[in-house]
Every structure is written in structure tokens, then in C-alpha cells.
Amino acid sequence: MDAFLLQILNGLDKGSAYALIALGLTLIFGTLGVVNFAHGALFMIGAFCAVTLQRLLTLSYETVDPERTDFLGNPMTVETPYVEAWFGPATGGALVDWAVPLAIVLAIPVMMLVGFVMERGLIQHFYKRPHADQILVTFGLAIVLQEIVKAVYGANPIPTPAPSALRGSMDVGALVGMEAYAVVYPIWRLVYFVFAALVIGGVFAFLRFTTFGMVVRAGMADRETVGLLGIDIDKRFTLMFGLAAAVAGLAGVMYTPILSPNYHMGMDFLVLSFVVVVVGGMGSLPGAVLAGFLLGILQSFASMNEVKSLIPGIDQIIIYLVAIVILLTRPRGLMGRRGVMEE
């Protein structure tokens, strides 16, 4: 039972990332009909928003502290971050400590802007071109974006720790009435799951309960009619592209304590996210979320030793295997609408 719970928890954090990226991919595909291979790069840019904020907050100046000396007896230089000098050591220290969650505030406008520029500058010229062209140009864009990041931040992973309060592990098993220390789980991964659930809920609520969301959903169902009703659907879809970019970026920001950001992390996630989208059903938002969590959990179950000894190597291929079976037996995916990209 406890192993079972642990595997579900293990699957949740990866599944959350898959679900968030797949959600953005689906938003873009459902609204604009574009297959965006640069979406992984957006996830990566989000992660580097966190890195940037962390670096900004830790910008420091050096002072010589005459009271402390190193082992040679020379006075030591002490680095003080500017924020600590401005806000006092307590507030400033907290700011530095909480850099990753704070980066959300930075990431939302940045990612929206990146999304707008991408859509207006590039993607909009590709609506009428075949899907293969869209794949190719966004693939090229992904290469360019990740190379720019590599040029600025270097090729090595940059560690970005979670706030110290959220760093350790938590006895989850005790919470649900099991014996102590049966199921111990890192806190930040739980935070990530809760965060993902909030973002997903927010996107769904936005689409469901606002007039804007209603128009967008109408546009997804029948773009032409909405246009004929005198609504400038293009403008709203551009905004949705920005929103999708922001969702991917937020997924990246919060993922940084789990995986130190490097420039190719986007590509690594992209392949799996595409599989997730296809399994969930092209253009189906609930499908993308469901498939994201499902595949994440499935993967963590497949990497259990009991399963691995039964079918060696299954943990490596399970996701792809599921995708192949789904594509061959039910091409519109788990929750895809009939007729949308079935062939």
C-alpha cells in the first residue's frame, strides 16, 4: 500500500510538468491550429526566468570586514547582496531564499511578451502553410532559442534551490494515517503538484467562466462563425498564445528546484509532451491534463523494481508504447473530439 502511494506521488510531479506543457501545446493547437515544436523552449525560458531572478537578487558588492580574518590573518572580504543592504538582512535574505517562487511574478509578463512576439512575428505567417512547415519552423526557432540561452548562461546546469522552508522531506504517510516514515516525500514536489493543479484549474476557470474564455471556446469550435459575428478572434487567439506561453513558463519556473535548468531541458520535455498531447487527444484540454498525469504515474509504476524484473526495460519505453497503442487503436486520443485531426 505504501509503495503504491509512493509511486503515485512519484508520478505526480513529472505528470504535473507534462500536463502543464501539454496544456499549453493543446491551447495553441486548439486555437491556432499550429503544431508548436518550440513549446519546450518556452518551458526552458521559464526556468531561466527563475535563474535570472536568482542572479539579480544575489547581485552583491564586496566589503572588507576587518574583524574577521582568514587563516593567514588577512581581513576577509564579505559579499553582501544589494537586497540585503537595502531591505535589511532579514527581508533581503528571505527575498534571496524565495527567489524561485518570486520568479513567477517575473515570468508571467516575460512569457506573455515572448508569446506575443512569437505569434505576431512568426507563427501568424504559418497558419495557412502545411503542418510540416509549422513543425519545421518552430523546430528551427527552438534551436535558436536554446542556443541563445546557451550563449548567455553557458552549457552547464545551474542549481536553483527551493526556499529553505520547503526544501526537506515530509512524512506523507503519517498524514493519511499510516505508520510513521512509511512514505516520505520531498516537500517541493508536493508544492509543484499543488501549483500545477492551481494553474490548470485557473486556465479552465478562465475559459469556462469568463466572457473572454467563452469567445475563445466558441472560436475553437468554429472560428469562421465567430469571425462572422463581428468578433476579432485573431486578437483573442494571440492572447491565448501568450497565455499558453505563460503556462509553459510557469511550469519551467517551478520545476527548477527539481531539475537544475540547462539549455536543452526544453527539448527533453517536448518529445514527451507531444506524446502526451497525442495520447490525450489533439485539441482536447482535459485530455492533455489527464494524459499528462496518467503517463507520469504509469512511468513511475513501470520503474518499480517488481515490474522491471518482470518485463526488463519497460520503464524506458512505457510512455512510447502507450502512445503507439493509443495512436493505432484510437487515433483521436483518449478525449479527442471526433473528426479533429483524426488522420
| Alpha carbon distances (Å) from 282 to 31, 60, 317 | 11, 48, 22
Strand partners, 170: 185
**With binding defined as CB under 8 A, does residue 98 bind another protein?**
no
CB 118, min distance to another protein, A: 12
Residues 17-56 within binding reach of another protein (CB under 8 A): 35
CB 337, min distance to another protein, A: 15
Selected from 45, 57, 216, 278, the binder of another protein by CB under 8 A is 278
Long-range residue pairs from 253-256, CB within 8 A, at least 24 positions apart, any chain: 253/46, 253/47, 253/49, 253/50, 253/100, 253/103, 253/104, 253/107, 254/100, 254/101, 254/104, 254/191, 254/192, 254/195, 254/196, 255/17, 255/43, 255/47, 255/192, 256/47, 256/50, 256/51, 256/100, 256/160
**With binding defined as CB under 8 A, does residue 117 bind another protein?**
no
CB 143, min distance to another protein, A: 3
Nearer residue to another protein within complex by CB, 40 or 249: 40
| Among 158-166, 180-188, 225-233, 309-317, the segment contacting another protein (CB under 8 A) | 309-317
Whole-angstrom Cα distance, residue 296 to residue 148?
Answer: 30
Reference 26, options 239, 287, 210; nearest CA is 287
**With binding defined as CB under 8 A, does residue 228 bind another protein?**
no
What would the x/- binding string for another protein be over residues 154 to 193, using CB under 8 A?
Answer: -x--------------------------------------
| Among 110-118, 141-149, 163-171, 291-299, the segment contacting another protein (CB under 8 A) | 141-149
Identity of the amino acid at 251: A
CB burial readout 130-169, b (16+ within 10 A) else e: eeeebeebbbebbeebbeebeeebeeeebebebbeebeee
**With binding defined as CB under 8 A, does residue 139 bind another protein?**
yes
CB 36, min distance to another protein, A: 11
Selected from 282, 288, 295, 298, the binder of another protein by CB under 8 A is 282
Selected from 274, 283, 289, 300, the binder of another protein by CB under 8 A is 274
Which grid cell is 97?
531564499
**With binding defined as CB under 8 A, does residue 232 bind another protein?**
no
**With binding defined as CB under 8 A, does residue 127 bind another protein?**
no
**With binding defined as CB under 8 A, does residue 331 bind another protein?**
yes
Nearer residue to another protein within complex by CB, 200 or 302: 302
CB 71, min distance to another protein, A: 38
Reference 216, options 26, 30, 33; nearest CA is 30
Kindly state the number of chain residues that form the binding site for another protein, as judged by CB under 8 A: 38
Instruction: For the chain, count helices (H), then strands (E).
Output: 14, 4
**With binding defined as CB under 8 A, does residue 3 bind another protein?**
no
**With binding defined as CB under 8 A, does residue 335 bind another protein?**
no
Nearest-5° Cα angle at 105, 100 to 111 = 100
Whole-angstrom Cα distance, residue 231 to residue 237?
Answer: 11
- Residues engaged in binding another protein (CB under 8 A): 35, 122, 125, 131-133, 135-137, 139-141, 143-144, 147-148, 150-151, 155, 267, 271, 274-275, 278, 282, 312-313, 316-317, 320-321, 323-324, 327-328, 331, 341, 343
